[in-house]
Amino acid sequence: MIDDSHLGHTTRVRLDHYRQMSGFIERVKISKVLLMQDMDLTEKFVGKSLDEIGSIPFEGIFDDF
């Protein structure tokens, strides 16, 4: 028999929670790609997965304002 509770949560609660988080994580990853394209930084990250890209350097981004 499989224990259906993990940290006191039922399978349904876990699935609902992680499904919500997966949508958020996908939006964050898409935002990374859009920012890199907008800032013309795609060449800098060639060959890396989105998980390997921790942060995007924002040096000089506000110089034009």
| Distance of alpha carbon 15 from alpha carbon 53, whole angstroms | 27
Amino acid identity of 34?
A: L
* CA triple 26-54-22, angle to 5 deg: 20
Instruction: pLDDT tens for the chain, 65 residues: list them.
Output: 455 555 666 777 777 776 777 778 888 889 888 988 988 888 888 898 888 887 777 676 666 65
Q: Is the pTM of this model over 0.85?
A: no
Backbone dihedral angles phi then psi of residue 6, each to the nearest 5 degrees:
-130, 120
